[in-house]
Structure 1
Amino acid sequence: MRLPVLIFDIETLTDLKSGAHLYGLDLPDADLEQALIKLRRQESGMDFQRLALHEIVCISGLWLDEQGGMKMFSFSREQHSEAEILTKFLSIFDKRNPTLVSWNGSQFDLPVILFRAMYHGLSAPSLFDQGEIDQQKRYNNYQNRYHHRHVDLMDVMAMFNGRNFQKLDDIAHLLGYPGKRGDGAYHVPEYVRQQEWQKLTAYCEGDVLNTWLVYLRWSLLKGQLLINDYRDVIQRTIQFLSTQPQHRDFLAVWRETSQRTEFTSIDFLSPTL
């Protein structure tokens, strides 16, 4: 496992202003949202908006450094505009070149970040350079599907075959991890409308944590982690989460779900846990 590692996830809403501009609509926001949904259904047969119309309201990440230290962060609309969220996230790549890990990041998160960064006139060569500036990135960059600087777990675990794509929630449950807690519904628009920022960041960070745990199992499968190292990182993750009050629920659910699979059932066997 090449350190440092950054596991990330984004949460989005439909950008009503851009949608109105794109389709030439002059409607109140409540009517505009419904009109955009209907137009999207006519275009594609689904409600899921085209990527360029996804406005980012939160980016969360888990950082693991070369010494094994962990740090969780979230940039949300509670304190930052979308442009500020993007600027803060993109600045990470100006300072370091981490292994980037996501679930469906190559088809959703990174393209959305690209479109929204362009919308705000931002520059992000450290993330999007494919060798034009740094020749080393010609052979290992964040965009190439088969490079390892960005590991899209959904894609690599499907062996790059879209017919094999799985949901993060399903794989997390299968492996004995929490997955989505609660009713599993998508509440992000309501969190933003009600300004429930802690719930928003906890939701996004929960996806990051599930992705991290699946990535560790993937690294074990690939031989990038030996079993003793894997167990050590799992224990360090548990210890880290025990210091994070906002993830007390995640840790409690993990303790319970770990008992449903034989391999994961020993995650909490240590008497100190």
Structure 2
Amino acid sequence: MQRKLQLENILFLDIETVPENEHYIELTEEKKELWAQKTSYQRKDEFSPEEFYHRAGIWAEFGKIVCISVGYFTFKGDLRNFRVTSFHGDEQKLLTDFKSMLETHFNRPQHVLCAHNGKEFDFPYIARRMIIHGISLPEKLNLMGKKPWEVPHLDTMELWRFGDYKHFTSLKLLTNILNIPSPKDDIDGSMVRNVYYDDNDIDKIIIYCEKDTVAVAQVLLRLQGKEILSEDEILHV
């Protein structure tokens, strides 16, 4: 299927998330109890709910999005570019701005969203946070009533599985084995919470998020048997 897709019809994306509250103590007593229930299986007896709270960004019910980076291809004759931009700041505003972009520029039937592990994380996380903020879902995220083949979502991890649903492969591993250049980062996903709350460095998070967005596009190019992007073809706008 990915060979038939026109690259200019794909919006590549990645999100970065953190706990909605900086500290566990800021939760209401009811929310603390709900957090304990939600994470009991993952924590087992190894961690208390408070000790485990640094991981709250993984769950949309207890986390929030601090950055959505998107990328898309443009073509002019034999020239191609990959344009990357990011939404960040207040979560409600970034979600509203992201929705506006979808409805303005990626609202046609042929348009699809693409992320790595997007079907299990990025797409549902964005949709849940929109609903929590009272934002109506854009068509590309509203799956109600859609048949599986009507869902406008691509997932590079799913494509790499080739039907093996027990197989998880990280984006970092894929870029390595597919010989995709991966600039060394001074942060990884597990450090985003500290960079956001302790260092107050959203710019570092944006750079990290945009690199992953580019990497998703590179993986799809390799899956299609096409030349990967050069640095000159990547434009940050």
TM-score band w.r.t. shorter chain: 0.7 to 0.9
Partner of 2:178: 175
Q: Does 1:23 align with 2:30?
A: yes
What is the aligned partner in structure 2 of residue 125 from structure 1?
Answer: 138
- Are 2:117 and 1:104 equivalent residues in the alignment? yes
Question: Following the alignment from structure 1 to structure 2, what is the Cα–Cα distance between the partners of residues 178 and 238?
Answer: 10
Q: Is the 8 A contact 1:117 1:123 kept in 2?
A: yes
- Residue among 181, 191, 195 paired with 2:195: 191
Q: Given the alignment of the two structures, is residue 85 of structure 1 paired with residue 90 of structure 2, yes or no?
A: no
Contact 1:5–1:65 (8 Å) recurs in 2: no
Moved more, 108-117 or 180-189: 180-189
Alpha-carbon contact 1:83-1:120 (below 8 Å) kept: yes
Q: Is the 8 A contact 1:168 1:179 kept in 2?
A: no
Matches of residues 251-270 of structure 1 in structure 2 within 5 Å? none
Aligned residue type for 1:238: E
Q: CA deviation at 1:219?
A: 1.9
Q: TM-score, normalised by structure 1?
A: 0.66
Q: Percent of aligned pairs with the same residue?
A: 23
Give the Å deviation of 1:156: 2.2
**In 2: Cα distance, 1:51 partner to 1:201 partner:** 20
Q: Does 1:238 align with 2:231?
A: yes
Distance (Å, rounded) in 1 between the aligned partners of 2:29 and 2:139: 30
Structure 1 219/9 Cα, relative in aligned 2: closer, same or farther at 3 Å? same
Query: How many residue pairs align between the two structures?
Result: 210
Residues 18 and 64 in structure 2, CA contact (< 8 A), matched pair in contact too: yes
Alignment partner, residue 258 of structure 1: none
Give how far 1:196 is off: 1.4
Q: Which residue of 2 aligns with 1:154?
A: 157
> Which position in structure 2 is the counterpart of 1:44?
42
Structure with more contact order per residue of length (Cα contacts < 8 Å, sep ≥ 6): 2
**Post-superposition shift, 1:104?**
0.6
Q: Contact 2:113 / 2:140 at 8 angstroms: preserved in 1?
A: no
Asked if the contact 2:117/2:157 (under 8 Å) is kept, the reply is yes
Quick one: distance in 2 between partners of 1:55 and 1:62?
21
Of Structure 1 and Structure 2, the greater helix share is in 1
Q: Say if 1:90 and 1:127, in contact at 8 Å, map to a contact too.
A: no
Identify, as 1 or 2, the structure richer in strand: 2
TM-score (norm 2): 0.75
